[in-house]
Amino acid sequence: MRLLLVTGGTGGHIYPATALAEAAKKRYQDIEILFVGNDDRMEATLIPEAGYEFYALHTSGLTGGVLHKLKAVGQMLKAKRQAVKLMKEWKPDIVIGFGGYVSAPVILAAHSLHIPTMIHEQNSVAGASNKLVARYADGIVICYERLFETFDKNKTRLLGNPRATCALQVPFHETYFKELGLKKGKPLILVVMGSLGSTSINEIMCDALPQVNKDYQILFVTGKNNLSAVKKRIPKQANLHVAEYVHQLEIMEQVDLIICRAGATTAAEITALGVPAIIIPSPYVAHNHQYYNASVLKAQKAAFMIEEKELTTEKLIRQIDMIMENPALQKQMRQEMKRLGFPKASDDILDWIDEMKR
């Protein structure tokens, strides 16, 4: 089988695509996989580094002034022509788009050639690219029930994010856990605001975390280039461990509470693993989708949410204490998280691909 995956722009689009690719490699012996993405975004580096063949296009979003939008439309038309030529030569069995503006011309090209298409929407608010091409897709995979209101119900299935399947397959790494200075059997709070972190939130964490009950061990992940600034501000305490980056899936088995953002990948992982959470959604993302992602978890009592504009040291400590001092609440949150998770997402999507091929 020949599988063409188009994705780009952010990790939220890229990581589900590579997770599905890994699952496909395990299922099919004769699989050939080709990724398509932008030539100047993170996928151009990440995907070849993961060992996949990569074909680059040049596109940009329909934002800014009139001239920029006209330029973007021209780039999209050119990218569609290039994608048509590529598919005539490579002959994929199916094309799957994971979002990002590069997805639109590729899905449209596949549709024009009568190649089966599928799109995957990771967030609770549909991205512009997926909304643009939804009418041309043969199948639409969603991760939030509310998107049945956005897409055609007859060709939409609630199957979840392949990163959920990925998260469950990562074993606990005890040696790594100890290298981080952590101890098994002692309650653990993980604080992580994504790979880049957040300077403004780090400042509040530097004030709040030293005041948290010393019986809890805390792993504070600062994000790229923030480690030195945090270390200058935060006091040294035996229960407080600071790192720039961690392989968090390798230690999640021991995490009692995570304080995090509400990106698509994070939401998929913590629901699959059933980790109680205090979520601080980023307000700096398209359509404020992290707020809506977090709202779903909050509404189902799987997580607490604090909007960044309302975040204070006092409020954060109060919510940490409320969760950590209440085993019954922790148990309920774990159960609700797992109920919202999609541990078989990759297999279910591949099953649908098989249906479409037949």
Residue 110 sits in a domain of what CATH number?
Answer: 3.40.50.2000
Reading the block at residue 281, the tokens are 């959604």
What's residue 61's pLDDT? 72
- Any domain includes 168: no
Which residues in the chain show pLDDT less than 50?
A: none
Continuous segment of H or E residues that includes residue 240: strand 240-243
**Alpha-helix residue ranges (DSSP H) falling in 210-288:** 227-233, 264-273
| 35: helix, strand or coil | strand
352 and 329 assigned to the same domain: no
Number of domains in the chain: 2
152 and 208 assigned to the same domain: no
What's residue 78's pLDDT? 94
- Any domain includes 128: yes
67 and 97 assigned to the same domain: yes
20 and 157 assigned to the same domain: yes
77 and 154 assigned to the same domain: yes
What's residue 10's pLDDT? 87
Average pLDDT, whole number, for the chain? 94
Neighbours of 7 (CB within 10 A): 31
- Any domain includes 21: yes
What's residue 219's pLDDT? 98
- Give me the sheet containing 303-305, strands edge to edge: 240-243, 217-221, 188-192, 257-260, 277-279, 303-305
109 and 233 assigned to the same domain: no
Q: Residues 6 or more apart from 299 whose CB is under 8 A from it?
A: none
Amino acid at 43: E
- What pairing do the DSSP bridges indicate for beta strands 53-57 and 94-97? unpaired
What's residue 75's pLDDT? 83
What's residue 291's pLDDT? 96
88 and 133 assigned to the same domain: yes
Which residues is 57 bridged to in the sheet?
A: 38
Q: Per-residue DSSP letters for 125-192?
A: S--HHHHHHGGG-SEEEESSGGGGGTS-GGGEEE---HHHHHHHHSPP-HHHHHHTT--TTS-EEEEE
222 and 322 assigned to the same domain: yes
235 and 106 assigned to the same domain: no
Question: Which among 217, 213, 214 has a CA at the least distance from the CA of 186?
Answer: 217
38 and 124 assigned to the same domain: yes
349 and 334 assigned to the same domain: no
What's residue 211's pLDDT? 96
- Any domain includes 166: no
- Any domain includes 178: yes
What's residue 146's pLDDT? 93
Q: With DSSP H G I counted as helix, E B as strand and the rest as coil, what are the percentages for the chain, rounded to 5?
A: 50, 15, 35
- Any domain includes 325: yes
213 and 139 assigned to the same domain: no
Q: Per-residue DSSP letters for 163-181?
A: HHHHHHHSPP-HHHHHHTT
- Any domain includes 167: no
Range of the domain at 42: 2-161+343-357
